[in-house]
Structure 1
């Protein structure tokens, strides 16, 4: 019998091996041998979720109570073992989905044990807290002040119905080691609560604030019922180590004084037309700017000119649901990544960015903006995602040709929506010139009506000449019937079905020599198409079938 050399490795190495494995596989190692069982029992990354033991509803109430008690006992027993044996806890992640009011004291005890065991990463995810502008009647879990005594704490993530009260904020002990702070849907005592909390973290590098609320204590004298409301402003000052900020749901004022800031993501949330201000001009080291839902201000040429002047190292720009001028000119020698998603009013974009490596565009098929690359790198890759109605497919070729110069578009993803009237057929115009070539066409969603298959395929493939084509294996987006039809069209097309039959110029289809089929699950292109299709799942979120065309 061969000797098990892996089990004799030091515990730190075995723990590292477990950390690189899927969690279910890591758990199974405990039955391999006594050595592996001991390794698992001392594994310093602890993850507890009530669904793993309690399961999901509906279930008998008595069964639920019993399993909830088992969950509480399991967490307590594990943490006590680490505490009494003097074992360090690197990560403690707790996810609870059921009502917390009956076990808040248990959670207090768990956090105390984790803190005293040198926890470095603490993540708490509880049921969703208050909605904004709701009465603050339902109890939240109040974060114990003792948690800040975890001087080894490197990362703190709080999500859901957690309340950070005034006693916590006025505590004299600081988070001297904290570098990552993430608050999602957390309830705070007042507007200055987050600013006070962040100011207690002199080494903070990464701050995420999403949809946090503040408590309004009933007005003068507290005569009115307390309510919660959206935070309105935030300031971050005197934070020399801060490198990344992600803020969502704070609509009005963002003031950041952090000379080391490199990444800034901002989404005002709520009423997207309400006025807002951003002031982060002192962050001269900024490299990534990500803006969402800026509707109250139109982004113009001058805005971009000022932006690149203020931030000379800016390399990555991303815009989602922002309002822009009809014509935008961008000139930057530093810009490497640009993404535009559903930016209304934009009709023309001229890019003078010789070092641009990646450009992404997402929009609807009827808008057809002209996107011109005046100077571009040989490594530039342009990817487009277009949502288009079936009856607007005659715009598709123009959409593709509006990426200039020709052949700059690397990949195109299409979501083709079902027409309201199924009987309508799409009129295909005669081919007057060769369509633009692209590396990859991804048909992510197509109508389910089989009478639309022929005009749809004709229209799409008369608009571009792809080297590869992929179809989703998720039957919700793309049926098996369409996949089979598409394959037959590629391999057995009849002359009278060709979209160039009424024109004088022959389409690229006539030069198609061979079609090789593969999938993201199986790379063997020699397998029979029907055999492959039968072996593939009918409802897969990520898998595709791929047609590689040889011209």
Structure 2
């Protein structure tokens, strides 16, 4: 009998192995042997989610109450076992989506107390009903116990949902010497200064995420005091030498003075057309900038001219839903990643970035900017996502040819993911020249009406010649009938059914020697196409089937 060397490894190494496995796979190790069962029972990363026990709704009330009790008992028993046996807890993650906080608050208090006594380093707490969902949400928020923040071993704190960080934290004398990652989503704060005080007490903080947080404001009406929630409007992050990443959404003003900052993401809150102010000019080491929904000002050439000298190490630049000038010129020797997604007004983009590795563009079909790469790397990958239902399919070829120079198209991957309407007003016309060759075409959605199959395929394949084509295996996006039709079109088109307009111009179809089919799901490569298709899953949004054209 072969000796089991892995099982005899020290517990710390076995726990490290479990931490690198997907959760389902890690749980399955407990049935391998008694030793693995013991390893799993002492695994110091605890993750509890009520949805895994409750399941889907609707369901009978008595069944729901029974499952709720099972969940509460399961969490309590596990934490008591760790507490009684003196076992360490490195990470404690709790997600509650199905239960009323008013009912659960005492249990959560008790669980956090038990876990904190085992010196956890990571706390992730996700609760329902944040103040953004309810103007009076502060009455239903879970008030985080002060003792949790006092945990000296805590180096990562993630709070999401209906959680209130009380004003007492602002005056607390505890220094959070170990905290390196702070993430607050939809959290209610005691006042505007509470979070700034909290951050200022974290000298080792490296990452700060603040998304749509609110503050509790008090006012007097007729001599009576009442409280209400309002969106947090501003934040200043000063004197944080270790800070490398900042992600802020839902505020109008952000000031960051952190010389080591490498990544900054900003999305204003409330009315996106309202003025905003972001000041991170002193963060000279910035490498990544991600801006979302900047509508109140126009990003123009001057903006880019000022940007790159100010941040000489900037490598990644991404814009989503921003307002741009009609023509933009981007010139940078350091830039490696550039993404423009749903940015309005764009007619012309000129890019002088010899070290650019990835360019991404997403837009409505009606907006067809000319995109020119004045200098480009041989490793450049161009990824374009367009909304086909907003675009005349007959103009697809023109859209592709708007990329200059033409040799860039060999690195172009075209993604068509928006649902295609069953009203394609496209009369197929033979083409007078060979359509441009591109790297890849990903067609995520097709018409439900079979009579439009031919028009769609003709429109696509007369507009471009992809080296590979992929279709989704999820029946919501793409039917099996269309996949079969597409394959038969590729393999069975006759000479008189090609895209040639005359005998003088031969389309790429004449050079097609064969089609190689594969899928992201492992299958027997020796079986025929229909047998393979029948063996593939029907509802797999992440899986696809691919056709490689052999020219």
**With structure 1 as the length reference, what TM-score do the two structures score?**
0.95
225-234 vs 178-187, greater mean Cα deviation: 225-234
**CA apart distance, 1:16:** 1.3
Task: State whether residues 132 and 228 of structure 1, in contact with CA within 8 Å, keep that contact through their aligned partners in structure 2.
Answer: no
Residues 254 and 503 of structure 1: is their aligned pair in 2 closer, same or farther, counting only changes over 3 Å? farther
Residue in 1 that maps onto 2:148: 147
Residues 136 and 10 of structure 1: is their aligned pair in 2 closer, same or farther, counting only changes over 3 Å? closer
Residues 219 and 446 of structure 1: is their aligned pair in 2 closer, same or farther, counting only changes over 3 Å? farther
**CA apart distance, 1:495:** 3.7
Residue in 2 that maps onto 1:238: 239
How big is each residue's C-alpha offset from its partner over 1:102-136, in whole Å with a ceiling of 9 and x where there is no partner?
A: 23122112212222211001000111312268234
Task: State whether residues 390 and 419 of structure 1, in contact with CA within 8 Å, keep that contact through their aligned partners in structure 2.
Answer: no
C-alpha distance in 2 between matches for 1:6 and 1:141: 43
**CA apart distance, 1:293:** 0.7
**CA apart distance, 1:464:** 1.0
User: Counterpart of 1:196 in 2: which secondary structure?
Assistant: helix
**With structure 2 as the length reference, what TM-score do the two structures score?**
0.95
Residue in 2 that maps onto 1:374: 374
Residue in 1 that maps onto 2:196: 195
Alignment of 1:183-262 (within 5 A): 183-219=184-220, 223=224, 225-250=226-251, 252-262=252-262
How big is each residue's C-alpha offset from its partner over 1:223-277, in whole Å with a ceiling of 9 and x where there is no partner?
A: 3642211111111111111000011111x21100111000001111321111101
**CA apart distance, 1:62:** 3.5
283-292 vs 526-535, greater mean Cα deviation: 526-535
Residue in 1 that maps onto 2:119: 118
User: Counterpart of 2:7 in 1: which secondary structure?
Assistant: helix
269-278 vs 210-219, greater mean Cα deviation: 210-219
1:548 aligns with 2:544: no
How big is each residue's C-alpha offset from its partner over 1:46-80, in whole Å with a ceiling of 9 and x where there is no partner?
A: 11112233434333333433332332232222222
How big is each residue's C-alpha offset from its partner over 1:131-178, in whole Å with a ceiling of 9 and x where there is no partner?
A: 268234642100000012210101000011000111123221121100
Task: State whether residues 326 and 345 of structure 1, in contact with CA within 8 Å, keep that contact through their aligned partners in structure 2.
Answer: yes
User: Counterpart of 1:183 in 2: which secondary structure?
Assistant: strand
Residues 427 and 62 of structure 1: is their aligned pair in 2 closer, same or farther, counting only changes over 3 Å? closer
Residue in 2 that maps onto 1:331: 331
How big is each residue's C-alpha offset from its partner over 1:466-494, in whole Å with a ceiling of 9 and x where there is no partner?
A: 11111111121111111111111111113
User: Counterpart of 1:487 in 2: which secondary structure?
Assistant: helix
Alignment of 1:326-405 (within 5 A): 326-389=326-389, 392-405=392-405
Task: State whether residues 132 and 230 of structure 1, in contact with CA within 8 Å, keep that contact through their aligned partners in structure 2.
Answer: no
Alignment of 1:282-321 (within 5 A): 282-321=282-321
Task: State whether residues 390 and 456 of structure 1, in contact with CA within 8 Å, keep that contact through their aligned partners in structure 2.
Answer: no
C-alpha distance in 2 between matches for 1:127 and 1:403: 46
Aligned residues: 548
Alignment of 1:37-116 (within 5 A): 37-97=37-97, 98-116=99-117
User: Counterpart of 1:73 in 2: which secondary structure?
Assistant: helix
User: Counterpart of 1:486 in 2: which secondary structure?
Assistant: helix
Task: State whether residues 430 and 503 of structure 1, in contact with CA within 8 Å, keep that contact through their aligned partners in structure 2.
Answer: no
C-alpha distance in 1 between matches for 2:15 and 2:30: 12
Alignment of 1:11-30 (within 5 A): 11-30=11-30
User: Counterpart of 2:125 in 1: which secondary structure?
Assistant: strand
How big is each residue's C-alpha offset from its partner over 1:379-404, in whole Å with a ceiling of 9 and x where there is no partner?
A: 11111111122860111111111111
Residues 147 and 232 of structure 1: is their aligned pair in 2 closer, same or farther, counting only changes over 3 Å? same
Residue in 1 that maps onto 2:165: 164
Task: State whether residues 244 and 260 of structure 2, in contact with CA within 8 Å, keep that contact through their aligned partners in structure 1.
Answer: yes
Task: State whether residues 329 and 350 of structure 1, in contact with CA within 8 Å, keep that contact through their aligned partners in structure 2.
Answer: yes
Task: State whether residues 516 and 525 of structure 1, in contact with CA within 8 Å, keep that contact through their aligned partners in structure 2.
Answer: no
Residues 133 and 278 of structure 1: is their aligned pair in 2 closer, same or farther, counting only changes over 3 Å? farther
Residues 253 and 65 of structure 1: is their aligned pair in 2 closer, same or farther, counting only changes over 3 Å? same
**CA apart distance, 1:38:** 1.9
Residues 136 and 5 of structure 1: is their aligned pair in 2 closer, same or farther, counting only changes over 3 Å? closer
Residue in 2 that maps onto 1:433: 433
Alignment of 1:524-543 (within 5 A): 525-543=525-543
C-alpha distance in 2 between matches for 1:32 and 1:550: 46
**CA apart distance, 1:511:** 1.3
C-alpha distance in 1 between matches for 2:393 and 2:54: 50
* Unaligned runs of at least 5 residues, structure 2: none
* Unaligned runs of at least 5 residues, structure 1: none
Task: State whether residues 339 and 360 of structure 1, in contact with CA within 8 Å, keep that contact through their aligned partners in structure 2.
Answer: yes
How big is each residue's C-alpha offset from its partner over 1:7-51, in whole Å with a ceiling of 9 and x where there is no partner?
A: 221111111121122222322322333322221221100111122
Task: State whether residues 170 and 193 of structure 2, in contact with CA within 8 Å, keep that contact through their aligned partners in structure 1.
Answer: no
**CA apart distance, 1:454:** 1.4
Residues 337 and 524 of structure 1: is their aligned pair in 2 closer, same or farther, counting only changes over 3 Å? farther
Task: State whether residues 129 and 161 of structure 1, in contact with CA within 8 Å, keep that contact through their aligned partners in structure 2.
Answer: yes
Residue in 2 that maps onto 1:484: 484
User: Counterpart of 2:444 in 1: which secondary structure?
Assistant: strand
C-alpha distance in 2 between matches for 1:326 and 1:503: 42
Task: State whether residues 391 and 419 of structure 1, in contact with CA within 8 Å, keep that contact through their aligned partners in structure 2.
Answer: no
C-alpha distance in 1 between matches for 2:256 and 2:405: 40
1:8 aligns with 2:8: yes
Quote the RMSD (CA, aligned, Å): 1.9
C-alpha distance in 2 between matches for 1:31 and 1:164: 41
C-alpha distance in 1 between matches for 2:384 and 2:101: 45
Residue in 2 that maps onto 1:455: 455
User: Counterpart of 1:483 in 2: which secondary structure?
Assistant: helix
